[in-house]
Structure 1
Amino acid sequence: MLAKKLRYIFEQFKHKGEFNSFEELASGHINDTYIIKTKKKPYFVLQRINHGVFKNIPGLIANKVSVSLHIRKKMTHLSETELNRCVLSFLNTNDDTFYHKDIDGNYWNMMIYIDNSITFETVNNEEVAYEGGKLFGNFLNLTSDLDISKLIEVIPKFHDMSFRYSQFKSALQSTPKERLYRAKLYIDCVADLKEEMHILQNLKESRLIKLRTTHNDTKISNALFTKNNKGLCVIDTDTVMPGIIHYDFGDAIRTICNTAAEDETNLDLVEFNTTYYKAYTKGFLKHMKSSITLLELKYLPLAAKTMIFIMALRFLTDYLNGDVYYKTKYPEHNLDRAKNQFKLLQSLSQQLSTIQN
């Protein structure tokens, strides 16, 4: 049944492929993503975008396409084949749009699959951290002159700390007592960090730090690498919108410098790796050093702390709300994710002077 449905949707896009089979990619928290294997390569990636999470999907897809086209125009020295390996390439539908809306109201978009590439859920060597830094730094550099007024805010207040605290407060008022009891230690941590966690937002709102085109979901699994561990392509651009570089830097550090997966339940395995922090920062600044300001540079360490915290807060809030946002595999999954991030935050805080130096 699913194969028949995917075949039909696949045929709504302009391509020269013949549907052969499909394989589900299960790494994302939000969307449903499939590799469409055709009789001849290239293969394709067909994605159903979650309209429960994203309210303006045509605008979201317009953002993704605009960013890809902007980057591609700066890489005219590459062949079409090379471009399709280092920049996401979106396909038009037969109706000349970049998405198909099915009879159930679901939105689908399709890209050329980047073959012979790998991803990492966690980082296990300095080279991957450094290459990840170069990749995300270059993404910010290449999009630095993109007119942000042409981008929609895909998820309003996505990294707005006041908004996240407001959501958290609402969740506290409606959650069952049993969940409140299980999360009490972490609920107390949220209250203790409130003032520090608003510093970056205050700098943004005062316009001391400027808005740029940002990815907003720079976990290491959203970077493709060659099989030789060289950075290849930034993927999963659903959350591209105006933001500050600290969002992208901090979220990347959150995954790159965690010595375990973000839902690892053995917290003894969760530590903040300062060696990887140094390697990532070196790669990141390789492309950003000409455009980053001293004030932006000063607050990069706080960006790491803030983005770890905001993910801990979001996982905790979703747990208190009854797991309505993130996909979960078992009842305590979101609480385990939150515990993981709070442990990472504690490890970072213990090494903050080293990181700042």
Structure 2
Amino acid sequence: MKANIESIFNEFNHQSKYVGHSELSSGHINDTFLVKTDGTHNYIVQRINHRVFKDVPGLVNNKILTSKHLISKYPNATEQELNKTVLSFVKAKDTAFYYHKENDDFWNVMIFIDHSITHEIVKNPEIAYEGGKLLGDFLNLTSDFDSSLLIDVIPNFHDMSSRYKQYTLSVQNALKERLNKAAKYIQIVADLKEEMHILQNLKKAGEIPVRVTHNDTKISNSLFTKNNKGICMIDTDTVMPGIIHYDFGDAIRTICNSGAEDEKDLSKVEFNLEYYKAYEKGFLEKTNDSLSKTELKYLPLAAKTMIFIMAIRFLTDYLNNDVYYKTNYPEHNLVRSKNQFKLIESFSKKISI
């Protein structure tokens, strides 16, 4: 059923008159709308997918706590300045930061940061550099935020042991035809198993600290000025406790692939070392003083590990007969998995760990 965006928007305390709205296409989970008003601000109205996110009130609370902490880092900033720097959320008329009717959708509203843009892909090293600074700034500013105050929005999201267990079950239950087609990659997974658990084991041993992490660091979740200067990280639905390697590694995975994620021609899939170095430079400019020697040491492994996690997630779904990701043809998930394994191969030739 199509939502009445105007009526939902008016369930929030914004003190503005609705003029019109448009849907923003970026994002695969939530529905996001830009609402134009006659007031000082325009707004983002977001429908939160409660089928993916099981505890929406907890998720929204994570977002609010994170924004309040970030705001506290700018004690001398005016409200107008903060609204251009930090995500600012609007309360619903019942005083919660979300609107929900029984058996219906969950909605939240935030102030739109005017004159801002996002990028779906990185087109030059300058954007990679600015993106690295934005993530570094986010992690640096939240480094003193008690992550235990946040819920796990998606439990075990980047947990290698959990992903590997799912993968192992898929191998045990897969059809023979699919096992044969995936045989080469099943062997690669076996060869990489020990190395790909290093970060997980360091986390469990307490040698890498658990911090507040973003957990969805593709470049489209970085907000830029029209001159491509970084503003802030957006889409904080997945903010939860984690290790910085999840964020750095996933950003590198999405930024540094020269091909599309489902490119069939693997000769087009190469790891872009120039973008890696630019992103890392920006990231370290903001985080170098707040990261431990161990965290810094394992940044390159983070990239390889996050590429591997996506490789086995696609491979797992292929072996499970494509039950999770949408596919356009029978071997779509296998192609995606091959793509990520080729990216690992290219990465390993260019960066030594």
- TM-score bin, normalised by smaller chain: over 0.9
- Shift of the 323–115 alpha-carbon distance from structure 1 to 2, 3 Å rule, reads farther
Per mean C-alpha deviation after superposition, the further-off stretch among 308-317 and 328-337 is 328-337
CA deviation vs aligned residue, 1:34-93 (integer Å, no higher than 9, x gap):
222334552222222222222211111111110011001111333323322221111111
- Give the C-alpha shift of residue 8 in structure 1: 2.3
Q: Residues 64-213 of structure 1 correspond to what in structure 2 (within 5 A)?
A: 64-177=63-176, 179-213=178-212
Structure 2 residue identity aligned to 1:158: F
| Amino acid in structure 1 at the alignment position of 2:145 | L
Task: Classify 1:29/1:230 alpha carbon distance in 2 versus 1 (closer, same or farther; 3 Å).
Answer: same
Q: CA deviation at 1:336?
A: 3.6
CA distance in 2 between partners of 1:125 and 1:196 (Å)? 31
Distance 1:257 1:95, change over 3 A: same
For residues 48 and 118 of structure 2, the distance between their equivalents in structure 1, rounded to whole angstroms, comes to 21
Kindly tell me: are residues 342 and 85 of structure 1, through their superposed partners in 2, closer, same or farther at Cα, counting changes over 3 Å? farther
Do the aligned residues in 2 keep the contact of 1:311 with 1:338 (CA within 8 Å)? yes
Query: Please, what TM-score do these two structures have when normalized by structure 1?
Result: 0.91
Cα deviation, residue 196, structure 1: 0.8
- Tell me, yes or no, if structure 1 residue 46 matches structure 2 residue 58: no
- Other-structure match for 1:217: 216
Q: 1:125 to 1:188 in 2, by over 3 A?
A: same
2: CA distance between counterparts of 1:334 and 1:40? 47
CA contact (8 A) 1:217 1:248 kept: yes
What code does the residue aligned with 2:42 have?
Y
Higher mean C-alpha deviation, range 38-47 or range 303-312: 38-47
CA contact (8 A) 1:309 1:345 kept: yes
- 1:246 CA drift (Å): 0.9
Alignment partners' CA distance in 2, 1:109 and 1:235:
14
CA distance in structure 1 between the aligned counterparts of 2:20 and 2:179, rounded to whole angstroms: 46
Distance in 2 separating the partners of 1:235 and 1:183: 37
Alignment of 1:211-290 (within 5 A): 211-290=210-289
| CA distances 1:302-329 after superposition (whole Å, capped 9, x unpaired) | 0110011112222332344454444556
Q: Which amino acid aligns with 2:116?
A: S
3-state SS of 1:47 partner: strand
Question: RMSD across aligned C-alpha pairs, in angstroms?
Answer: 2.2
1:150-169: CA deviation from partner (whole Å, max 9, x where unpaired): 11111111111010011122
What is the letter of the counterpart of residue 246 of structure 2? Y
Query: Residues 200 and 9 (structure 1 numbering): CA distance in 2 closer, same or farther, change over 3 Å?
Result: same
Could you tell me how far apart the structure 1 residues matched to 2:52 and 2:223 are? Answer: 24
The answer for the alignment partner of 1:309 in structure 2 is: 308
Q: For 2:139, give the aligned amino acid.
A: L
Name the amino acid aligned to 2:222: A
Cα 1:105–1:299 change in 2 (3 A) is: same
Asked if the contact 1:123–1:259 (Cα under 8 Å) also holds between the matched residues in 2, the reply is no
Partner Cα separation in structure 2 for residue 93 and residue 196 of structure 1: 47
Give the partner amino acid of 1:155: I
Count the aligned residue pairs. 353
Identical counterparts, % of pairs: 62
Supply the distance in 2 between the matched residues of 1:324 and 1:112 (Cα, whole angstroms). 37
The gaps in structure 1 that reach 5 residues or longer are none
User: Residue by residue, what CA displacement relative to the aligned partner does 1:134-177 show, whole Å, maximum 9, x if unpaired?
Assistant: 11001001001111121111111111101001112233344555
TM-score, normalized by length of structure 2? Answer: 0.92
Return the letter of the residue paired with 2:32. Answer: T
Match of 2:342 in 1: 343
- 1:178, CA displacement in angstroms? 5.1
Q: Please, which runs of 5 or more residues in structure 2 have no aligned partner?
A: none
Distance 2:294 2:151 in 1: 26
SS at match of 2:305: helix
Instruction: Determine helix, strand or coil for the equivalent of 2:128.
Output: helix
Supply the distance in 1 between the matched residues of 2:150 and 2:190 (Cα, whole angstroms).
Answer: 34
Deviation of 1:288 (Å): 0.9
Identify which range, 45-54 or 67-76, moves more after superposition.
Answer: 45-54
Amino acid at match of 1:342: F
Distance in 2 of aligned mates of 1:257 and 1:18 = 43
Contact kept in structure 2, 1:91 and 1:98, CA below 8 Å: yes
